[in-house]
Amino acid sequence: MTYHFRVHSEKNELWAECIELEGCVTQGRNRRELDRNMLEALNLYLEEPESSKTIFPSPLARPSGRDVVSVEVDPAVAFSTQLRQLRVLHKLTQTQAARRLGMRSLYSYQRLERRSNPSLATIKKVKALFPDFSLDAILSS
């Protein structure tokens, strides 16, 4: 899953804004620092939504324009983001999703909606519950 940032230069600093995610911005003293900060800002933005019902816009195929940089989402964050979005689109609460996945507690499910590294068995259950869940979207850049 790859989002895109437009890089701006002002005086002696660089700053960047995510094209698809309003409010996801960062800055850096040089390009190396900016690249690190774009990755961190993107992952934190997706990992910490305002509520468990937040659905983020999908990344654009490849926006055109000057100074556009592609930033790949950490796969653990991409998994969590897609899971949350599908749960909301299927009109399930976290409790309902946890029960349908056979989880012992709501907390176990909530951890999946945060930066997570699920087992293959859990991924299989998620795919059965949400057939439109796409590993390709998580792993492709």
Which conformational region is residue 59 in: left (phi greater than 0), alpha (psi within -120 to 50 degrees), or beta?
A: beta
Mean pLDDT estimate for the chain:
91
2-72: which CATH topology? Double Stranded RNA Binding Domain (3.30.160)
Model pTM score: 0.86
Domain 75-139 = CATH 3.40.190.10: no
Interior/surface letters 103-130, b for 16+ CB within 10 angstroms, e for the rest: beeeeebbebbebbebeeebeebbeebb
pLDDT at residue 139 tops 60: yes
Evaluate if residue 141 carries a pLDDT over 60. no
CB 25 within 8 A of CB 7: no
Q: What is the pLDDT of residues 10-68, one digit of tens each?
A: 888 899 999 999 999 999 999 999 999 999 999 999 987 777 788 888 888 878 788 99
* Range(s) of the chain covered by CATH 1.10.260.40: 75-139
Let me know: does 112 contact 81? Beta carbons within 8 Å: no
Which amino acid is residue 79, in one-letter code?
F
| Lateral strand order in the sheet of 2-10 | 25-28, 13-18, 2-10, 68-72
Residue ranges matching CATH 3.30.160 in the chain: 2-72
Whether 101 shows a pLDDT value over 80: the answer reads yes
